[in-house]
Amino acid sequence: MDRTEPGLEHTVADGVATVVIGNPAKRNAMTAAMWGALPVLLERLAADPAVRVLVLTGAGDTFCAGADIASLRDPGTDPQALAVAAEEALAAFPRPTLAAIRGYCVGGGSQLAAACDLRFAEEGASFGVTPAKLGVVYAAASTRRLVALTGPATAKHLLFSGELIDTARALRAGLVDEVLPAGGLDERVDAYVRTLVARSGLTQAAAKEFATGRDDRDAYWAEQARRSGDTAEGAAAFLERRAPRFTWTTGP
């Protein structure tokens, strides 16, 4: 496990980068240093061709309880700007991202989870978007991302009240994609990311770009497919009943 800053650690193994939020004394709340370090770490991991998938999780039995408010009261520190910059860096990561969630996923933690492509949660996790408890104006980009996941009504409920919701409601609302029984999260995440690593990185990168609303690069991605030979390899592997050996690794 490599340490980037106090509170952030990461590993890269078998195509999977795992970033662990760790501030256990404060339920993995994000300090100013952690917010600032995350985009730098993500940029480095994005430049590593060995990284095919990124998993974001929390140390121990919680994901992230938000921002460490005490550390963000220093003069000259803009907590909202730090959080939004980290969120946007995570959303822009060019490969699939997955939040593996236990315990509290609240405030800034919910921003980070929402910025991931997918969210798997263990039964018993709690979710909340809490700026109304602090008198904070939630950033427009963060609000739009939340609305895209849950719809306007649920997003308004979460933002207006700051109340926590459980995994069952989070699943119904679209805030999480899967809920796993206690003890089952790691096994499911490991199996799922192995599946992603075995699939076409070309398909994943193009799909991620198109899903975020950029639809003017069909010709670019068609050319990438032609040059890489991955489409031909996928068809050959299907006909030969073997696992494909995709080779495309370059980011968009």
Strands 8-13 and 2-5: antiparallel
Q: Quote the pTM value.
A: 0.93
Q: For 120-156, b where at least 16 C-beta lie within 10 A, e where not — what string?
A: bbbeebbbbbbbeeeeeebbeebbebbeebbeeebbe
Task: Give yes or no: residues 207 and 88 share one domain.
Answer: no
Task: Give yes or no: residues 215 and 150 share one domain.
Answer: no
Map tokens 């206690």 to a residue: 182
Task: Give yes or no: residues 167 and 46 share one domain.
Answer: yes
User: What sign has the CA pseudo-torsion 149, 153, 158, 159?
Assistant: positive
- What pLDDT sits at residue 214? 75
- What pLDDT sits at residue 208? 94
Examine residue 67 and state whether it is found in any structural domain, yes or no: yes
Task: Give yes or no: residues 43 and 112 share one domain.
Answer: yes
Map tokens 């039964």 to a residue: 123
- What pLDDT sits at residue 2? 66
Q: How long is the chain? A: 252
Examine residue 19 and state whether it is found in any structural domain, yes or no: yes
- What pLDDT sits at residue 222? 87
- What pLDDT sits at residue 76? 67
Determine what percent of the chain is predicted with pLDDT higher than 90: 78
- pLDDT tens per residue, range 48-59: 999 999 999 999
The enclosing H or E element of 58 equals: strand 53-58
Tokens of 192: 């799922």
- What pLDDT sits at residue 148? 95
Examine residue 164 and state whether it is found in any structural domain, yes or no: yes
Task: Give yes or no: residues 125 and 168 share one domain.
Answer: yes
Tokens of 56: 């974001």
Examine residue 249 and state whether it is found in any structural domain, yes or no: no
Reference 39, options 95, 106, 108, 93; nearest CA is 93
Q: What is the spatial distance between Cα 159 and Cα 230, in angstroms, rounded to a whole number?
A: 44
- pLDDT tens per residue, range 117-133: 999 999 999 999 999 99
Examine residue 251 and state whether it is found in any structural domain, yes or no: no
Task: Give yes or no: residues 158 and 225 share one domain.
Answer: no
Total tally of structural domains belonging to the chain: 2
Task: Give yes or no: residues 18 and 100 share one domain.
Answer: yes
- pLDDT tens per residue, range 74-104: 666 787 889 999 999 999 999 999 999 999 9
Tokens of 72: 């963000």
The DSSP-derived string for 76-124 is T--HHHHHHHHHHHHHT-SS-EEEEE-SEEETHHHHHHHHSSEEEEETT
Examine residue 47 and state whether it is found in any structural domain, yes or no: yes
Task: Give yes or no: residues 209 and 190 share one domain.
Answer: no
Reference 79, options 31, 28, 26, 135; nearest CA is 31
Task: Give yes or no: residues 70 and 190 share one domain.
Answer: yes
Determine what percent of the chain is predicted with pLDDT higher than 70: 94
Tokens of 21: 């939020």
CATH of the domain at 43: 3.90.226.10
Map tokens 């207006």 to a residue: 160
Examine residue 247 and state whether it is found in any structural domain, yes or no: no
Average pLDDT of every residue of the chain: 92
C-alpha 112, offset from chain centre: 6
When mean pLDDT is compared across 17-26, 66-75, 138-147, the lowest value belongs to 66-75
Task: Give yes or no: residues 103 and 180 share one domain.
Answer: yes
Q: What type of residue sits at position 219?
A: A
Tokens of 57: 């999780």
Provide the residue range defining the domain that includes 213. 201-240
3-class secondary structure, 194:
helix
Task: Give yes or no: residues 185 and 156 share one domain.
Answer: yes
Q: What is the spatial distance between Cα 45 and Cα 96, in angstroms, rounded to a whole number?
A: 12
- What pLDDT sits at residue 80? 83
Tokens of 50: 């060995």
- What pLDDT sits at residue 75? 65
Q: What is the spatial distance between Cα 46 and Cα 247, in angstroms, rounded to a whole number?
A: 17
- pLDDT tens per residue, range 13-46: 999 999 999 999 999 999 988 999 999 999 999 9
- What pLDDT sits at residue 67? 87
- pLDDT tens per residue, range 223-251: 998 888 898 899 999 999 999 999 887 65
